Amino acid sequence: MWMQIMMAASTALTVMGHRQNIKNIKANLAWKAYERKINDLHARTVAAKKAAKTFSEMRASVGSSGIQFTGSPLIVANSDWKEYQEDLMWMDQGLFIEGMRDSTEATSLIASEYYKAGNTLIQGGMGYIDYKDKKALAESKGIS
Phi, then psi, of 20 in degrees rounded to 5: -65, -40
Cβ atoms of 103 and 109 within 8 Å: the answer is no
Name the pTM for this structure. Answer: 0.68
Q: What are phi and psi of 71, to 5 degrees?
A: 65, -130
Among 17, 10, 24, CA closest to 109: 24
How far lies 88's CA from each of 5, 34, 131, in Å? Answer: 60, 19, 64
| pLDDT digit string (tens) for the chain, length 144 residues | 788 888 889 999 999 999 999 999 999 999 999 999 999 999 999 989 988 888 887 777 766 766 665 566 667 777 888 888 998 999 999 999 999 999 999 999 999 999 999 999 999 999 999 998 998 888 888 886
- Read off the DSSP letter of residue 71: S
Contacts of 59 (CB under 8 A, 6+ apart): 69, 77
DSSP 143: -
